[in-house]
Amino acid sequence: MGLTKTEIFTEEQNRIADLAKAFAHPARVAILQLLVARKACVCGDLVDELELAQATVSQHLKELKRIGIIQGEINPPRVCYCINPPVWEEARQAFGSVLESFESVTCCN
């Protein structure tokens, strides 16, 4: 059986790609911005604030939690989410490392 596409890349490359998925959809960016702006856990009112369907918000929260960039506590009927600081910092460093590695050159003019 052949290799999956992710197997040909380093663990670091796969992790950076996974972290990038957190920012790869405008709804997830909006959720992250809301959580960052609140500077606290947000419990249950994301749907009202984002004007998105509950199923859509839930799907994006699930993906953000899978990536680890948010953490949540589920105590029905209450669900609370907040930024996961260590993973947020991991993303900041990972993207910074990639973006800062570029040195401007004149080409393709």
Whether residue 102 lies inside any domain: the answer is: no
CATH (domain of 22): 1.10.10.10
Segment holding 78, helix H or strand E: strand 78-83
Whether residue 4 lies inside any domain: the answer is: no
Q: In this predicted structure, what is the pLDDT of residue 19?
A: 95
Whether residue 30 lies inside any domain: the answer is: yes
Give the confidence band of 2 by pLDDT, cuts at 50, 70, 90: low
Whether residue 108 lies inside any domain: the answer is: no
Are the C-beta atoms of 81 and 58 separated by less than 8 Å? no
Are the C-beta atoms of 15 and 98 separated by less than 8 Å? no
Whether residue 44 lies inside any domain: the answer is: yes
Structural domain boundaries enclosing 52: 10-97
Total tally of structural domains belonging to the chain = 1
What pTM was estimated for this model as a whole?
0.83
Q: In this predicted structure, what is the pLDDT of residue 31?
A: 94
Whether residue 104 lies inside any domain: the answer is: no
Whether residue 1 lies inside any domain: the answer is: no
Give the confidence band of 92 by pLDDT, cuts at 50, 70, 90: very high
Whether residue 2 lies inside any domain: the answer is: no
Q: In this predicted structure, what is the pLDDT of residue 3?
A: 61
